[in-house]
């Protein structure tokens, strides 16, 4: 809710639960009570902190914007030129200072309760010599005092999305990303909520910067508060010194910063964000094909016979998309050479790569190919011939990372070269899918021609290149990979159809990585692959059933040399492949629910929008400290429906740490005809087996259509257990 008053900067006075049928009256009361007291040793008027906080309104914290307008006062007061509400879902603001700077802010809220905020700063000076250097343009919203804990993410290669929880304290909780990509330690989503908020409980306000370059998130509290609220939070692109210099007539537009709110825990936040992603124009429109990716199967060993055998094995288990990873292009025998030379290696592929892509297509599978368009090895023709295309300062001192450097895609020649090469290959090989990798941080990302930092220009050029390729090849899909999950954000999701969340296929790591990547993204855009029994990145060994169940909850695939699998393993893979195809309509459209991890075990699953079915994994990653099976609540089912429960038997079931039972469950694959009320399942819960570590079981819950024969009455009263949820006002 925004307070608009003639000539005054708009101020957000409330956001959270929908105010219901009495909304208008309550809104009036909020507006009427929104002025704080005048305090001692403070401003002489009530403190107002607008959507664009700054010193000119007495705000001593991080400002909404910072710029340098040479020779003029940067923080001149703004005149409100326009503040227009468009219906009840959008707000447009236009401000102007006395020194030729204009600022526009656009807010719009979608049907799912996700608010998109974007700002533009323009140099509208009549003096053509005047340059405005922009340092920051932030989108910030106020938070109430009960938003007292912050959860955001961090991580490293093969261990992305580790949550960290801190208290909101006086000062600034700042996450500044200077990697030229969000990074393995991307803050990802800043959630600020009531004390102890969990997946299922608590009130949470969340912010996400939809941008794939440098960025900043902050939560800030000053002792004097924010009007009658407590703190501010939000984010922005992080601009490097000198990166954005506006000449007269030029403007800078921020990326979208998304805000949303839930009163039913993190799952409520995810529900809104998943709906937002599912509405994006770039969201894939076809069922997510089962993938085989060659990386951990063959690495750089691109032997045509070996790859053909792998493709045949993939076809036999039901794979629908075969992706040839790194190693196919000129002189690429390892990671020290070839990056940048996007020509099929004639030594490896004397008869062309069509020999493989045609085999794959003839088998009825899609063909995918790995690229790392933004990178270059110095040992490549491109680097030798076009050193001015490198995104690094002149000289030889730049630091290599995985033996590679960055190509400056904001250089029109470099951009056109890449477009031409990728476009030609997509055309001639009939490529259906690009795995678009990005294997290093951007350091000293200086445009060699202008001498200025160019992370922003480079990032925008990447988006443009993806868009032009997809415009030319509308069925083409792109996956964002960056040494695993170092470039996952909703800016990228406006251009790509899939992300690779981690180079770790170890199912123990994957349980956490997928759980937390899934806070932002729905499962169908998150790549989840089965690797071999012993994971390549951790050398930990785990059972096939655990790996299969873990990889089911995403855009599933295989990354394993399955030509070496036993008959039994292949049978299991086949059963899993058909289960995936059968269940993907549910898994890829439903609502994600997660329990907390308790003593090493957790329950997570997806429930259909009409709550008629749910598919849940009961997972144990660590040895149990307790010696019994307990009741576990099943979230997301409808309290008004009755359900049957089935333990899946498509693959060898998990090793149990118990003699048998629990008794209600019966044998895997059987339906004992028992019926359980939704209230019983969501409120009371069922005892589940005590698993050994690194084990999982898969359960389906299906709504019983007619009057149940043998209803088990809930042990508690009939109070509704539906998760409370209202739209933010
Ligand atoms: C990165 C990716 C991997 C693989 C290799 C190839 O590490 O994350 O999946 O594609 O590059 O070099």
Q: Please write the tens of the pLDDT for every residue from 254-312.
A: 999 999 999 999 999 999 999 999 999 999 999 999 999 999 999 999 999 999 999 99
**What structural domains does the chain harbor?**
2-280 (2.70.98.60), 593-703 (2.60.40.1180)
Per-residue confidence (pLDDT) for residue 96, from 0 to 100 = 94
Per-residue confidence (pLDDT) for residue 724, from 0 to 100 = 36
Contact status, residue 519 vs residue 189, Cβ threshold 8 Å = yes
* Full DSSP string of 153-167: EEEETTEEEEEEEEE
Q: Tell me which of 503, 504, 527 to substitute to probe ligand 1's pocket, judged by most ligand atoms within 8 Å of the beta carbon.
A: 503
**Which atom number of ligand 1 is nearest to the Cα of residue 484?**
8
Considering the candidates 256, 345, 503, 561, report the single residue annotated as catalytic: 503
- The yes-or-no answer on residue 503 being catalytic is yes
Per-residue confidence (pLDDT) for residue 74, from 0 to 100 = 56
Contact status, residue 68 vs residue 133, Cβ threshold 8 Å = yes
Answer positive or negative: Cα dihedral of 269, 272, 277, 278.
Answer: positive
The residue whose C-alpha atom lies closest to atom 3 belonging to ligand 1 is: 483
Ordered strands of the 171-177 beta sheet: 139-143, 229-237, 215-226, 171-177
**What is the end-to-end Cα distance of the chain in Å, rounded?**
6
Query: Of 657, 647, 661, 659, which Cα lies nearest the Cα of 692?
Result: 657
C-alpha of residue 368 to centroid of ligand 1, in Å: 14
Query: Of 694, 645, 702, 693, which Cα lies nearest the Cα of 668?
Result: 645
CA distance 49 to 63: 10
Rg (CA), the chain: 27
Backbone angles phi, psi at 50, to 5 degrees: -85, -175
325 pocket-lining for ligand 1 (C-beta < 6 Å): yes
C-alpha of residue 299 to centroid of ligand 1, in Å: 9
- Regions of the chain with pLDDT less than 50: 709, 713-729
In degrees to the nearest 10, what's the CA dihedral of 684, 687, 693, 698? -90
227 pocket-lining for ligand 1 (C-beta < 6 Å): no
CA distance 295 to 679: 46
The residue whose C-alpha atom lies closest to atom 4 belonging to ligand 1 is: 295
Q: Tell me which of 295, 373, 402 to substitute to probe ligand 1's pocket, judged by most ligand atoms within 8 Å of the beta carbon.
A: 295
Q: Which two tokens stand for residue 393?
A: 């300062």
Per-residue confidence (pLDDT) for residue 669, from 0 to 100 = 80
Per-residue confidence (pLDDT) for residue 666, from 0 to 100 = 83
Considering the candidates 326, 432, 437, 506, report the single residue annotated as catalytic: 437
484 pocket-lining for ligand 1 (C-beta < 6 Å): yes
504 pocket-lining for ligand 1 (C-beta < 6 Å): no
295 pocket-lining for ligand 1 (C-beta < 6 Å): yes
Q: Tell me the pTM.
A: 0.96
The residue whose C-alpha atom lies closest to atom 2 belonging to ligand 1 is: 483
Backbone angles phi, psi at 29, to 5 degrees: -70, -40
Q: Decide: residue 443, CB within 10 A, 0-12 exposed, 13-18 middle, 19+ buried.
A: middle
**Which atom number of ligand 1 is nearest to the Cα of residue 482?**
8
370 pocket-lining for ligand 1 (C-beta < 6 Å): yes
Query: Of 636, 688, 698, 643, which Cα lies nearest the Cα of 665?
Result: 688
Residues in the chain: 729
DSSP character at residue 626:
S
C-alpha of residue 273 to centroid of ligand 1, in Å: 28
Q: Which helix (H) or strand (E) holds 433?
A: strand 433-436
| % of residues, the chain, pLDDT over 70 | 96
481 pocket-lining for ligand 1 (C-beta < 6 Å): yes
Please report the beta strands in 144-242, taking only residues with DSSP state E, as ranges in sequence order.
149-156, 159-167, 171-177, 190-193, 204-209, 215-226, 229-237
| Cβ burial 528-558 (10 Å sphere, 16+ → b, else e) | bbbbbeebbbbeeebbbbbbbbbbbbbbbbb
Q: Tell me which of 158, 437, 485, 528 to substitute to probe ligand 1's pocket, judged by most ligand atoms within 8 Å of the beta carbon.
A: 437
326 pocket-lining for ligand 1 (C-beta < 6 Å): yes
Contact status, residue 117 vs residue 107, Cβ threshold 8 Å = yes
408 pocket-lining for ligand 1 (C-beta < 6 Å): no
Per-residue confidence (pLDDT) for residue 654, from 0 to 100 = 85
């Amino acid at each position: 809710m925004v307070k608009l008053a003639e000539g005054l900067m708009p101020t957000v006075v409330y956001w959270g639960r929908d105010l219901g049928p009495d909304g208008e009256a309550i809104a009036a009361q909020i507006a009427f009570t929104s002025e704080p007291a005048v305090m001692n040793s403070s401003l002489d008027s009530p403190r107002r902190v607008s959507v664009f906080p700054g010193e000119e309104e007495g705000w001593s914290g991080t400002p909404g914007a910072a710029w340098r307008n040479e020779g003029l006062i940067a923080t001149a007061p703004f005149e409100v030129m326009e503040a227009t509400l468009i219906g009840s879902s959008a707000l447009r603001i236009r401000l102007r200072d006395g020194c030729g700077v204009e600022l526009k802010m656009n807010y719009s809220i979608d049907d799912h309760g996700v608010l998109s905020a974007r700002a533009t700063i323009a140099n509208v000076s009549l003096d053509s010599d005047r340059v405005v250097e922009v340092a920051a343009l932030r989108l910030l919203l106020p938070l109430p005092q009960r938003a007292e804990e912050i959860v955001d993410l961090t991580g490293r290669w093969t261990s992305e999305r580790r949550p960290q929880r801190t208290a909101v304290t006086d000062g600034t909780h700042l996450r500044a990303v200077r990697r030229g990509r969000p990074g393995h330690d991307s803050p990802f989503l800043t959630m600020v909520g009531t004390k102890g908020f969990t997946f299922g409980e608590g009130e949470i306000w969340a912010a996400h910067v939809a941008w794939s370059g440098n960025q900043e998130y902050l939560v800030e509290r000053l002792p004097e508060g924010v009007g009658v609220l407590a703190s501010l939070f939000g984010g922005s692109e992080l601009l490097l010194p000198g990166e954005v210099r506006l000449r007269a007539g030029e403007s800078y537009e921020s990326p979208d910063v998304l805000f949303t709110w839930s009163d039913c825990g993190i799952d409520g936040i995810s529900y809104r964000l998943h709906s937002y992603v599912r509405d994006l124009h770039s969201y894939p429109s076809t069922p997510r094909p089962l993938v085989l990716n060659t990386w951990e199967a063959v690495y750089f060993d691109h032997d045509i016979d070996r790859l053909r055998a792998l493709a045949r094995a993939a076809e036999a288990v039901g794979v629908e998309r075969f992706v040839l990873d790194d190693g196919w292009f000129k002189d690429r025998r390892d990671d020290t050479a070839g990056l940048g030379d996007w020509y099929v290696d004639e030594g490896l592929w004397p008869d062309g790569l069509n020999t493989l892509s045609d085999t794959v297509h003839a088998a009825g599978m899609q063909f995918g190919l790995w690229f790392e368009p933004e990178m270059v090895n110095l040992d490549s023709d491109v680097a030798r011939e076009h050193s001015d295309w490198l995104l690094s300062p002149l000289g030889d001192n730049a630091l290599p990372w995985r033996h590679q450097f960055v190509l400056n895609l904001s250089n029109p020649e470099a951009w056109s070269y890449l477009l031409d090469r990728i476009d030609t290959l997509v055309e001639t090989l009939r490529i259906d899918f690009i795995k678009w990798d990005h294997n290093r941080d951007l350091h000293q990302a200086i445009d060699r021609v202008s001498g200025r930092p160019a992370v922003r220009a480079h990032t925008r050029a990447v988006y443009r290149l993806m868009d032009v390729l997809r415009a030319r090849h509308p069925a083409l899909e792109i996956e964002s990979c960056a040494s695993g999950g170092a470039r996952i954000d909703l800016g990228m999701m406006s251009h790509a159809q899939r992300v690779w969340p981690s180079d770790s296929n170890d199912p123990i790591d994957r349980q956490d990585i997928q759980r937390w990547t899934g806070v932002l993204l729905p499962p169908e855009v998150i790549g989840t692959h089965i690797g071999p029994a012993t994971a390549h990145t951790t050398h930990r060994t785990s059972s096939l059933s655990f790996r299969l169940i873990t990889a089911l909850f995403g855009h599933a695939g295989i990354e394993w040399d399955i030509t070496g699998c036993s008959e039994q393993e292949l049978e299991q893979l086949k059963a899993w492949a058909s289960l995936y195809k059968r269940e993907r309509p549910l898994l890829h459209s439903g609502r994600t629910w997660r329990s907390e991890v308790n003593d090493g075990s957790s329950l997570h699953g997806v429930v259909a929008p009409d709550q008629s079915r749910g598919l849940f994994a009961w997972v144990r990653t660590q040895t149990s400290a307790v010696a019994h099976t307990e009741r576990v609540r099943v979230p997301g089912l409808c309290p008004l429906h009755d359900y049957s429960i089935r333990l899946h038997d498509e693959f060898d079931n998990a090793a149990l740490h118990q003699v048998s039972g629990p008794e209600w469950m019966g044998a895997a694959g059987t339906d004992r005809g028992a019926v359980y009320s939704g209230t019983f399942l969501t409120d009371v819960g069922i005892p589940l087996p005590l698993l050994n570590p690194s084990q999982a079981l898969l359960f389906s819950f299906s709504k019983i259509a007619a009057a149940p024969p043998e209803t088990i009455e809930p042990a508690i009263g009939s109070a509704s257990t539906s998760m409370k949820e209202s739209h933010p006002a």
